Amino acid sequence: MHLKISLPTETLVDEDVVKVIAEAENGMFCMLPRHIDFVAALVPSVLCFFPYEGKESFAALDEGILVKCGADVFVSASNGIRGTDLSQLEDLVKNSFLHLDESERKARTALARLEAGTLRGFLDLQEKAYG
């Protein structure tokens, strides 16, 4: 099977694998090359995959969609991190989400400033118009 995990800004995984284990809303499932085609909505979890050469690998993913079509498995998620060691992956996820939370906080602050500036501009226009 060929596994491809895509994020909005990058391709996280693009390689041949023997097996994929993922988690949907109704629980975990395993895919092997001859399994039927299907689509699943993934919950935030760790997707496990087994490359033909090498050891088990992991991808911590946010919500996403998994599509198996023939020998291809496509996953699309909004955020994800790849690792080969679960403890290392846990640290990477914590650091990434802390950075993401800080970035979101800064973006919300900037948006609030823009909104306040726009409202001030409208009030100034209103005062000039009705003086």
- Summarised one tens digit per residue, pLDDT across range 64-87 is 999 999 999 999 998 888 888 877
Cβ-Cβ contacts under 8 Å for 14 (sequence gap 6 or more): 2, 3, 4, 5
> 56 with 95, same domain?
no
Look at 82 and 124; give whichever has higher pLDDT. 82
> 61 with 92, same domain?
no
State the total domains in the chain. Answer: 2
Rg over alpha carbons for the chain, rounded to the nearest Å, is: 22
CB 36 within 8 A of CB 57: no
Length, in residues, of the chain: 131
- Summarised one tens digit per residue, pLDDT across range 8-47 is 999 999 999 999 999 999 999 999 999 999 999 999 889 9
Distance CA 31, CA 54 (A): 18
Q: Which range of residues forms the domain containing residue 94?
A: 86-131
> 77 with 104, same domain?
no
Neighbour count for residue 119 (Cβ, 10 Å): 10
pTM for the model stands at 0.71
> 49 with 77, same domain?
yes
